[in-house]
Chains A and B, each alone.
Chain A
Amino acid sequence: MSRFIIRRMLLAIPVLFGVITLVFILARVIPSDPCRAALGEKATDEICNAFNARYGLDQPLIVQYVQYLGNVLTGDLGTSIRFNRTVSDMLVERLPVTVELTLYALLFATVVGIFLGRAAATRRNSPADVGTMVVANLGVSIPVFVLGLMLAYVFAVVLKDTIFALPPSGRLTPGTEVVPLAEAWGLEDLTGLPRTILDFMSNILTFNAIVTLNGPLLVDTVRHMILPAIALGTIPMAIIARMTRSSLLDVLGLDYIRTARAKGVSERRVVSAHAMRNALLPIVTIIGLSLGGLLSGAVLTETIFNLTGIGKSIYEAITGRDYIVIQGLVLVVASIYVVVNLVVDVSYAFLDPRIRLG
């Protein structure tokens, strides 16, 4: 087992290295003059030469690459050219939005997907089964941006003034009180990495609201997250529903299920305790694989619902030619994805002995 994990981790290193290199290359070939993009009209040749020297842009590419590699390995992601803020600061502020959105979407996808898939498999060929599969097929066919806009319209306009009304954009209603954790716990003197982590956790508003027992904040955060989470989570929900159905049908046909039924175990218990446990194996992989799609979808969802997360920031950095921010944020997102896939692979090996022995 440990050999499998080590082998899998070693395999991830060249991939991460390749990611770093590809990000560097992409950020450099984007046709732009970072100086003029940052300073606009007032950029003269003289100013730009100084600017390029300051950011090391006058060095040969290979020198820039080695410097960049050194910086990344020491955790320095650089400073935004346009906003004069470090990428790490932006991450602390914006990554929590994306993390929160992704987790809500994943929660929606998993809970609803498994519920629907199970309902379909246990009532095979019934209207419930057909209905679920129609929903699943529609779910994978509807683009995030169409679903998001239609949800925003329905819940903010059609259902306005009803109890179902939900906010169509933003992360919080203006005026909602948020107490940073550092302040709430009297840790304002904290500096360095612990402070960064604390601020990061503090910006995950659901977490913040729960640990500071801030009821209004929790309600407001959840209300703002429901529509984006549904828009983002519908495609994985549909995939998980289909996967659960087919996986559960496979397992329900196995001998040990027949044995359980012959012993007189109730059908509900056969499904919950005996079949589901094994049927969920492939679904773990699907959940891991969905993450890449969720991060892609986050660009669109954050744009539509006006959430300042990583997806929207990367999109704005690319259109604004802020290549240090592009480099930093894309690198972080790709690394998260590689690590999550690693965790999924390893957890799969834990769950299914055939993988690690094979």
Chain B
Amino acid sequence: MTATLDQLPGALPEAVAAQKPSSLWRDTLRNILRQRSAIVGLAFLAFLVLVALFAPVIATHDPNLPMIGIEEGAKPRSAPCIHLLGCPETQPEHFMGLDGNARDVFSRVVYGARVSLWIGFVTVGFSIAIGVVIGAIAGFFGRTDNVLMRLMDVVLAFPSLLLAIAIVTVLGQSLVNAQLAIGIVAIPIYARVTRASVLSVREQEFVAASLALGESRFGILRRRIMPNALTPIIVQGTLGIAGAIIEVAALSFLGMGAQPPLAEWGSMIGIERNAVFAAPHLILFPGAAIVITCLAFNLLGDGARDALDPRLNR
């Protein structure tokens, strides 16, 4: 015991030197990868990204091209036909059938991955960018806190989809406006998370130290507080992507988001919703695509939360 203590002062620098410098990002990533659900989510996500990147290679047809007059016997809303599974060779092969305009559903679902991933990242990115600024100002500069957070309460007082529908009606029906609307209604969530996070980091000693060193208040917020307050925002953002994809899809389903002929999963379902009893595959396949995408982000977000919040470790 004494020997160990004697050796310690000499041994310490070596041990420290042998350690790689720890970085917030690397630690975070390592912790996340320890979570089973995060790995499953990441695998799903990787698959989706590959599908989106190689959509032109994977898709069997042009997603916007009606098959009528191009393939013999192509009928709108015809059921899936896979030759390997016993579909007669005389019929043209369509893995997920044809939609109401006789377009290949499989190719549309594949191209839809591009649209939905874009929707998820851009929409949440927008909410985070604005929400973080509002939350940081509210949390760090006390005077504005009450006003800003009450304003956020007002936005949160509306059922999000209703407010989004109203905003789209004001802005006009398009995919970008739908994203903007869903982005706006999600701002309070990120503002609240950021504010809470900034409030707790603000009280730490290194902030007082920077203040004593004469660093500007804005500089402290940007360089000292924000990097340490980002973790909960990233977790919330990952979980928020799934929500954003579902909500933009819901607007498209109602005809207020993506406009035809864009291959967007929500609008594919919306256009064919009255055909559900005759051609359920037109709902099932794009629906399954939405579920898989949201599942990927939810699993990843859960894993990230479990990894980054020691209180939730179990």
Contacts and interface: CB of A to CB of B under 8 A. Distances in A.
B162 A330 contact: yes
A348 interface: no
Contacts of B165: 299, 314-315, 318
A138 B170 CA distance: 34
Interface residues of A, number: 49
Interface stretch (A111-119, A143-151, A214-222): A143-151
B291 A146 contact: yes
Given A318-B169, A334-B157, A145 B250 contact: yes
B161 interface: yes
B307 interface: no
Interface in B218-260: 242, 246, 249-250, 253-254
Nearest to B150: A14
B287 A146 contact: yes
Interface string A315-338: 100110000001000100110011
Contacts of B35: none
B157 A143 contact: no
Nearest to B314: A249
B276 A152 contact: yes
Interface string B146-157: 000011011111
A141 B170 contact: no
B277 A153 contact: yes
A145 B253 CA distance: 8
Contacts of A288: none
Contact of A337 (B157, B270, B291): B157
A355 interface: no
B269 to A, nearest CB: 6
Interface string A121-142: 0000000000000000110111
B169 A292 contact: no
Contacts of A16: 157
* Interface SS of chain A: helix
A137 B157 contact: no
Interface string B289-309: 011101100110010000000
B159 A337 contact: yes
Given A14-B150, A141-B294, A338 B157 contact: yes
A137 B161 contact: no
Nearest to A19: B157
Contacts of A168: 277
Interface in A292-310: 292-293, 295-300, 303-304
Given A141-B242, A143-B246, A299 B295 contact: no
A187 interface: no
Nearest to B164: A296
A314 B162 contact: yes
Nearest to A250: B314
Given A296-B160, A315-B165, A149 B154 contact: no
B26 to A, nearest CB: 28
Contacts of B277: 152-153, 156-157, 168
A246 interface: yes
Interface in A170-224: none
A246 B157 contact: no
A29 interface: yes
B166 interface: yes
Contacts of B295: 137-138, 141
Interface centre among A31, A297, A299 (most CB of B within 10 A): A299
A197 B294 CA distance: 42
Contact of A141 (B157, B166, B298): B298
A166 to B, nearest CB: 14
Interface in A28-47: 29-31
B38 interface: no
Given A149-B283, A330-B166, A292 B254 contact: no
Contacts of A56: none
A143 B283 contact: no
Nearest to A16: B157
A22 B150 CA distance: 13
A299 B250 CA distance: 10
Nearest to B155: A22
A334 B312 CA distance: 33
A333 B294 CA distance: 28
B273 interface: yes
A150 B242 contact: no
Nearest to A298: B159
Contact of A300 (B150, B153, B253): B253
Contacts of A30: 166, 169-170
Contact of A137 (B154, B160, B299): B299
Contacts of B283: 146, 149-150, 153
A18 interface: yes
Interface of A: 14-16, 18-19, 22, 26, 29-31, 137-138, 140-146, 149-150, 152-153, 156-157, 168, 246, 249, 292-293, 295-300, 303-304, 311, 314-315, 318-319, 326, 330, 333-334, 337-338
Given A149-B287, A157-B280, 5 more contacts: A14-B150, A26-B170, A138-B291, A146-B269, A300-B253
Interface of B: 37, 150-151, 153-162, 165-167, 169-170, 172, 242, 246, 249-250, 253-254, 266, 269-270, 273, 276-277, 280, 283-284, 287, 290-292, 294-295, 298-299, 302, 312, 314
